Amino acid sequence: MSLRSEFETFIGAIRFFTRLSVPGSFGYGRLSLERAVRYYPAVGAIVGVIAALFFTVASFFWPKTLAVLVAISAAIYFTGAIHEDGWSDMVDGFGGGWTKEKILEIMRDSCVGSFGATALVMMLMVRFFTLIEIDLYQIPAALIAGHALSRLCATYVLAALDYARDDGKAKVFNNRLGWGELALATVCGLLPLLLLPPQHVIMALLLALAVTVWLARLFKRQIGGYTGDCIGAVQQLSEVAFYGGLLFRLP
């Protein structure tokens, strides 16, 4: 595969997974979007770098709590809240539906239900409170690693399960990833972990993988696969699980 083709695929991933403005017409082709998932963790690392930069600048002027809020807000803005929306819709669907058809119907509804609203508020609170408990100088690295790893977890779900709908925005990723593509995604997702102390990373990695496996099994059992909302939910929950794991200490 040519370098130009890989570059177009990478730009396609940025266009699909963020709202970053990319000049030119690169990455709009269907083939680029189909292959874009291999760069999903790399895009996560970019989002993490942006959040880390916002946190670093904000921390010069405001207390740690406000700087964390700025970092969280920046990540949400530059991704268009697509993952938060997916988390909310997934909880609504699985919380209110009893059959595959009903779950998919609820997740497609643009209205946010009580399950989804509550879950979204709780997710934002947990993300905030875990981040402010991390050492001030480790927060930038935690943001980069958390955003990259959580998207790697979502990539594994994409690779392991079938798409649950007949149509939808995420159906473009229904082609199973090859070993080379998974290896590339894995490297991009795990490399930022080197920015953090190894003794803290192990538990964080295990917790993130544990919630990913749990969600994947839930999706498989309830709807026979994934949807775009499910992928957003995996990213959200594995991210906060990672932050929580960084704080884990044996008594």
Predicted confidence (pLDDT) per residue in 121-177, tens digit: 999 999 999 999 999 999 999 999 999 999 999 999 999 999 987 775 555 555 667
Q: What mean pLDDT do residues 56-75 have?
A: 97
Q: What mean pLDDT do residues 39-53 have?
A: 97
The confidence score (pLDDT) of residue 174 equals: 59
Q: For the chain, give me the number of helices (H) and strands (E)?
A: 11, 0
> 140 near 45, Cβ under 8 Å?
no
Name the pTM for this structure.
0.92
The confidence score (pLDDT) of residue 89 equals: 94
Residue 141 is encoded by which pair of tokens?
């690295």
The confidence score (pLDDT) of residue 40 equals: 95
Q: Angle CA(20)–CA(141)–CA(129) in degrees, nearest 5? A: 90
Q: What mean pLDDT do residues 72-81 have?
A: 96
- Indicate the domain borders of the chain: 3-246
Q: 23 — phi, psi (to 5°)?
A: -70, 155
SS3 letters across 56-80: HHHHCCCCHHHHHHHHHHHHHHHHC
d(CA 233, CA 227): 10
Q: Name the residue among 130, 133, 140, 137 with its Cα closest to residue 51.
A: 140
**Taking 90 as the threshold, does the pLDDT of residue 55 lie above it?**
yes
The confidence score (pLDDT) of residue 36 equals: 83
Give the tens place of pLDDT for each residue, 177-230: 788 889 999 999 999 999 999 988 999 999 999 999 999 999 999 999 999 999
The answer to whether the Cα torsion of 24, 26, 29, 34 is positive or negative is: negative
Instruction: Report the percentage of the chain scoring pLDDT > 90.
Output: 70
pLDDT band, very low/low/confident/very high, at 98 (cuts 50, 70, 90): confident
C-alpha distances in angstroms, 144 versus 51, 71, 207, 243, 244? 8, 11, 17, 11, 15
